[in-house]
């Protein structure tokens, strides 16, 4: 190999190493510190958003075979989020919430009849701009996975370590739950009333675990099968399946029925794909590097992986049915709440907040009431059936997006993923791992219709990493 080739490959590996370090660092920090729901972590995520820009631009300069227009496409993919930031900045000129003096006190006043299309219902410019800056940073981190990696091996490494971080947190969470059960005096601290592990909200944790459970299953499908039990017990595939099992159990422990059903569905499909992948056909046995003696023998060991994965798929189907039937028989809408958790939102509250939010959306359908405005604006219209305290979220990411940013903001948020999805479909080149990753992404989007998973920066970051990995997986040069 020529010296210049060694230098070039080293430079390219440096870009991939920086990508890996940046993604795993941000994921670990945000997951360990309350799902990223602290000002310090949000600030760190925004600040680290510069790293993907530097990495993508230096990658195009240092790697001679990098695809043309890499930097251009990277910026174009981020343009909708910069446009959303610009709209928010324009809205700051027209605040609709102000302080008025009345008697001996000061009161907040809402100018609901303001004729301006673009307004700001946030209490400060920082509060309004932060969600947009965070969205740009996270989107850039996810897009850097697509534009820098050209190998499934690199993507697998990112997904595997991300899933491993999630499983370690889950094991710690289970351990702390066991200690709390033994703590009859209830003196041990918890990060929140409705918490699990380091996440203050079990809904956020369950979505985070579901995303990385799907990622772990995708890496397991991609990895070669070991047909000897001893070899399988310390193989990459076994570790990936073990990680997925840990995350699945954590969702079954604290997730809503819908989260359990969606995760079991992902696991079911992965089980079928694993069974197809390990059925002892001649091609499969050759691809898994099975020895010639085992390949031509009549030993039942060849059929053990196929039967095992098929059983996993069947158990997951039965588990999904067992989870759905009791809830659906009582009331179909009970699928979207955790009836066993007294701290979670009720069905009546979800219905009431949905109707009130819908009325607010109708008043400003184009650009909404402004970023980070829901809590402030909704408190002026909140019905008595929802109590005296103002609600932080409408319990639906879709409804919150429409209220704060309108239909224009929703289009800007989904246009980049929609274009990537269109190209993914047009290629008609689908792998088992890629389909599991895409099923995971669509499951998360389904949850965002009836819950608020994307309120957690850690969940949003995980979503972008896995989504861009899925798009790149079936478009990778090295497979």
Side-chain half-sphere CA neighbours of 196 within 13 A = 25
pLDDT grade for 167, boundaries at 50, 70 and 90: very high
For 226-246, write each residue's pLDDT tens digit: 777 777 788 888 899 999 999
Assigned domain for 159 exists = yes
Q: Is residue 478 part of a domain?
A: no
Tokens 């981190």 label which residue? Answer: 141
Domain count, the chain: 1
Tell whether 207 is covered by a domain: yes
What is 225-280 written as a DSSP string? P--SHHHHHTSHHHHHHHHHHHHHHHHHHH--HHHHHHHHHHHHHHHHHHHHHHS-
Q: Pick the most confident of 168-172, 295-299, 391-395, 447-451.
A: 168-172
- Would you call 348 exposed, middle or buried from its count of C-beta atoms within 10 A (0-12, 13-18, 19+)? exposed
In a domain, 261, yes or no: yes
Confidence (pLDDT) at 4: 43
User: 168 is in which domain, residue-wise?
Assistant: 3-473
pLDDT at 8: 43
**pLDDT for the residue numbered 186:** 65
- Specify whether the CB–CB gap between 210 and 443 falls below 8 A: yes
What are the DSSP E strand ranges found in 295-337?
none
360 token code pair: 């607010």
pLDDT tens, position by position, 313-359: 888 888 877 776 655 445 555 666 666 565 567 777 788 888 888 98
> What is the number of residues in the chain?
479
Q: Distance (Å, rounded) from C-alpha 99 to C-alpha 94? A: 14
H or E, element range at 110 = strand 105-110
pLDDT confidence of residue 1: 40
| Residue labelled with tokens 């079928």 | 272
Among 294, 147, 290, 176, which Cα is nearest to 225's?
Answer: 290
Q: Is 95 inside any structural domain?
A: yes
How sure is the predictor about 284, in pLDDT bands with cuts at 50, 70 and 90? low
Instruction: Look at residues 367, 369, 375, 370 and name the one whose alpha carbon lies nearest to residue 406.
Output: 367
479 part of a folded domain: no
- DSSP line for 68-109: TTHHHHHHHHHHHHHHHHHHHHHHTTSB-EEEEEETTEEEEE
At 250, give phi and psi (nearest 5°).
-65, -35
Question: Which pair of tokens denotes residue 467?
Answer: 């989504």
């Amino acid at each position: 190999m020529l010296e210049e080739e060694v230098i070039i490959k080293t430079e390219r590996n440096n870009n991939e190493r920086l990508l890996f370090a940046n993604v795993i660092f941000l994921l670990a920090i945000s997951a360990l510190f309350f799902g990223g729901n602290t000002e310090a972590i949000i600030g760190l995520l925004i600040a680290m958003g510069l790293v993907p820009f530097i990495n993508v631009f230096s990658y195009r300069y240092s790697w001679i075979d990098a695809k043309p227009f890499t930097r251009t496409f990277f910026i174009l993919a981020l343009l909708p989020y910069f446009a959303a930031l610009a709209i928010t900045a324009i809205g700051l000129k027209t605040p609709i919430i102000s302080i008025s003096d009345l008697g001996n006190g000061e009161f907040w006043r809402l100018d609901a009849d303001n004729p301006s299309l673009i307004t700001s219902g946030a209490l400060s410019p920082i509060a309004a701009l932060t969600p947009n800056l965070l969205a740009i940073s996270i989107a850039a981190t996810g897009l850097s996975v697509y534009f820098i990696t050209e190998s499934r091996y690199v993507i697998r490494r990112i997904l595997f370590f991300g899933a491993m971080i999630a499983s370690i947190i889950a094991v710690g969470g289970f351990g702390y739950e066991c200690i709390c059960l033994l703590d009859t005096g209830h003196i041990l601290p918890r990060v929140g009333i409705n918490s699990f592990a380091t996440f203050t909200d079990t809904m956020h944790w369950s979505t985070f675990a579901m995303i990385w459970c799907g990622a772990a299953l995708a890496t397991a499908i991609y990895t070669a099968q070991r047909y000897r039990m001893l070899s399988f017990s310390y193989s990459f595939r076994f570790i990936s399946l073990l990680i997925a099992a840990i995350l699945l159990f954590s969702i079954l422990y604290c997730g809503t029925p819908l989260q359990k059903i969606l995760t079991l569905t992902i696991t079911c499909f992965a089980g079928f794909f694993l069974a197809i992948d390990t059925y002892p056909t001649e091609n499969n046995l050759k691809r898994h590097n099975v020895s010639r003696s085992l390949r031509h023998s009549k030993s039942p060991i060849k059929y053990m992986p196929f039967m095992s994965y098929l059983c996993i798929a069947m158990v997951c189907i039965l588990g999904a049915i067992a989870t759905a039937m009791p809830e659906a028989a009582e009331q179909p809408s009970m699928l979207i709440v955790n009836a066993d958790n007294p701290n979670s939102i009720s069905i009546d509250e979800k219905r009431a907040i949905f109707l009130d939010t819908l009325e607010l959306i109708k008043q400003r359908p184009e650009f909404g009431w402004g970023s980070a405005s829901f809590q402030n604006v909704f408190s002026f219209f909140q019905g008595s059936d929802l109590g005296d305290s103002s609600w932080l979220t409408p319990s639906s990411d879709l409804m919150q997006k429409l209220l704060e940013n309108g239909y224009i903001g929703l289009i800007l948020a989904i246009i980049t993923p929609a274009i990537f999805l269109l190209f993914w479909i047009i290629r008609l080149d689908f792998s088992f791992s890629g389909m599991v990753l895409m099923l995971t992404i669509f499951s998360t989007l389904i949850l965002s219709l009836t819950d608020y998973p994307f309120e957690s920066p850690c969940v949003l970051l995980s979503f972008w990493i896995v989504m861009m990995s899925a798009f790149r997986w079936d478009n990778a040069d090295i497979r």
